[in-house]
Structure 1
Amino acid sequence: MTIREQATEAAAAARKLAAVSPVIKNKALEAMADALLAEQEEILAANTRDMEAGKAKGLKESLLDRLLLTPARLADMAEGLRQVAALKDPVGEIIGGSTLPNGLTITKIRVPLGVIGIIYEARPNVTADAIGLCMKSGNAVILKGGSEAIHSNTKIADVLRKAAEQSGIPAGSIQFITSTDHAAVQELITLNGLVDVVIPRGSGRLIQAVVGNASVPVIETGVGVCHTFVDAGADYAQAEPILVNAKTQRPAACNAMETLLVHKDAVQDFLPHMLEVFKENGVQIIGDETVCAMDKEALPATEEDWATEYGDLRLSVKVVSGLDEALDHIARYGTKHSEAILTRNYANARKFQQMVDAACVYVNTTTRYSDGFQFGFGAEIGISSQKLHARGPMALPELTTYKYLISGDGQVRP
């Protein structure tokens, strides 16, 4: 089928899927989890083809790691589907209502968005995550994965589609675009009237390409130039493990710290030791003049560095005159994702949380908590750094919209 034909089929399926009961959806999710494990050998064989092609192309080790599937990772993907099945179904939830003086009753309920297009790069686990979350929230889904994972993604999508349809999910609800042509993305993101929303997941380049060219509404996710500001008089002993966690626990994650801002009055008592700790953890420091003077192994920061999401063990470090300069720096270079302050000053903490424009704003903890599971939401489709229609970790409720149900007994408008 052409992409338009796939979208047309998905739109027809979405109307039926919106009325499918939670019992059937949960049964399908369990069957999909079982199918991943039952078809493990074929999925891993497809992944081996992708890995061999990726190595031949010279993909970075970090990308190859994201691409790699193992029995343990497949088991985690299956468990993720089971966890989605266990979550509360958002469809049909009453979120408001009233009875008017004329007797009309108005009820506001959650409903699926409809058809969701998801565009992502070399992460086969996203295929299962996205399908599971869209099924549970009653949405048809059209997936466009990266060429690096084409064999893995095609096989996973096929396995899950068959299991879902055999369990009662309407045919056409799960679509996977097998074309690796970039033109396929452009077509998908301009199918107004068939696709209700597009969610890009991946690099900043991918996300901005979708945002800049889509005519379909886009939920922007992921890019995270995340800062942590260490205030004067902060608990420096507490700050050390927080900062190590924020940078090194998973440096490729969008909620990892990319820039450390340090109050000038904290430099003497805190920064030299912290720079040594970073070095011990394999972190390359990229600093301003003060930092470079203090650490001869540090590289001088450029304007581009302050705006860069490294996604690896590089860290920009800057000394600032105080909270206001830190706020100005974040406003200029931040991506409205996740920001943190480490401080003992209550007024500074409140000011930071009030004035920082980001989806998640932390006090005395790590930005690595920006995650649906960590927030207690269950699985997530991504972390939105925009303001409409969702912000922060997007779980099942964020994959719905709402409508009003109005019931009367013969009333007419005067």
Structure 2
Amino acid sequence: MVITKRGLVLGATALASMAAVVTGAGIHLSQGQAFFKESPKELVDEVWQLIDREYVDGSFNETDWIEVRSEYLGRSYESQEDAYEAIREMLEQLEDPYTRFMDPQEFRNMQIDTSGELTGVGIQISQDEETEEIVVVAPIEQTPAFEAGVRPGDVITAIDGQSTEGMDLNQAVSLIRGPVNSQVTLTLRREDESIDFELTRAQIEIHPVRYSVKDGPEGTVGYIRLNQFSANAADEMREAIQALEERDVTGYVLDLRSNPGGLLYASIDIAEMWLESGTIVSTVDREGITDEEVAHNRALTDKPLVILVDGGSASASEILSGALQDNHRASLVGTKTFGKGLVQSVRGLADGSGVAVTIAKYLTPSGRDINKLGIEPDVVLELSDEQRDVLGEDLEKIGTAEDPQYVEALDVLGDVIRSGRQSISSAPEN
């Protein structure tokens, strides 16, 4: 199967209401592949070969990968389930929570297109590489989890009373997912407090972009909130910018707070809408080969831009905000981003299962490797717990005078607009 940029996944996590888009529209068995379904050992070797060819770390986390193959192919497998268990065990040696195996049901979940209707509670979760805890990266707006008050950084300690200790990401997602209108109880640790959230699973339709015209310090402002980099994010962003340009706004506030990421091509396409020229992102594979993406004079506006970010802004959000910050196209306001600088491809295997493989890391235009480090905003402003509660309880207050980070973004935008006007007025006449 050929992997293209448009199939690369930048989501920091697994979605408990859905999963990332895979490479290609579907996976089908050819006649030449059909024999794999009858041979669990061949499936184990198929995964080993894929990791051997493509994994980003050529040392395989200081593991003797050849010896690993000998060990696992030397075993006897009586069923596909035996093979699945062995594959998961094999991949654990890489100590990479983003490289993971999915059985056929989990892989079918992964094939749900991000632009469609989803079933779940609406949270995106990650597994901490050091503690192995299941952590909420971001709840998706207008979903049961968001409306109940689940926050980025909450640690899921139990699902319906079952402890998550020792549980992998796929297990957690499977337990959280379920039929519409069924109940699931998440026990979350928030600082030193343990909180039970009883959530009702729902059918969720996601439109990643919403926008409006607001009053600003120097005239009207275009406010755009991008929730995730899904398959339709670029189209909706283009429509938003074009509509706001027709309203002749003086500048923009782009809100990427709690945006957990998504597709690589979506972040690149959206960056080009704001950036006329310059590097957007570089991806580096294990051979050290760099693939650089640059802007191609397709910007839809050159008006001043401020971007809102926080600890839930991950992966594709960090590519976009890093590109615009490094190219001095935008100022960032808020708190440090999540810090996920790795790229995965998702491959279908011959028996209908699948595997996500970390194949590259990415760098911002200035060469920053932000993995585990995040991006520091130009203006740091933390929200208090009380302020978070106010915004979480009433979504309509996000991007208003009751949203302190948004208010700060407006102040910064006003300064940029005034500075630009002064530069024009002081320019010498020819």
TM score, norm. by length of structure 1:
0.25
TM score, norm. by length of structure 2:
0.25
Larger gyration radius, structure 1 or structure 2: 1
- Would you tell me which structure has more strand in proportion to its own residues? 2
